[in-house]
Amino acid sequence: MWHSRTQQDIPGETDPILQEIVTILSYDGSDLGWAVFSHRLAEMTRGKGDMIVQVMKGFDHWRDEVSDITTFVPALDRQLRDLHSPHHCTRLILPSTTGHVPERVVCAECSRPMEKFIMYRCCTD
């Protein structure tokens, strides 16, 4: 997905789909997993695996916000947003096969520009 969207780079425009791809890739960098929930095209939320698990374990506390299937995703999104803290550490690991390294990437959590580093990683998990 990353490679496909970066091939369509339009200078001066922000690509919301590419930003969502960056967000999911940054979640993957935590090694805690991630999840995406959606209902039709207009409603979507996503989060790191540990945050999703925490919110879902506490479902009894916010179940009154869910009256039917159409209200689940917005309610889940509100719960996930309430868990965001001002202090966070987000990393984005791009596979070497991407062929394109962007000059500017914004943080999935706070939308500030991220610092650029090169990371080599050996995972034996």
What is the DSSP secondary-structure string of 66-114?
A: -SSHHHHHHHHHHHHHHH--S---------GGG----S--B-TTT-PBP
Instruction: Determine, yes or no, domain membership for 30.
Output: yes
40 compared with 78, residue with greater pLDDT = 78
Q: What is the pLDDT of residues 14-64, one digit of tens each?
A: 777 777 887 787 776 667 788 999 988 778 898 888 889 999 999 999 999
Instruction: Specify the number of domains making up the chain.
Output: 1
What is the domain extent for residue 88? 2-98
Q: What is the pTM of this model?
A: 0.69
- Whether residue 117 lies inside any domain: the answer is no
Q: Are the C-beta atoms of residues 56 and 35 closer than 8 Å to each other?
A: no
- Taking the C-alpha atoms of residue 36 and residue 19, their distance in angstroms, rounded to an integer, is 14
The predicted pLDDT at position 9 comes to: 58
1-15, 39-53, 87-101, range with greatest mean pLDDT = 39-53
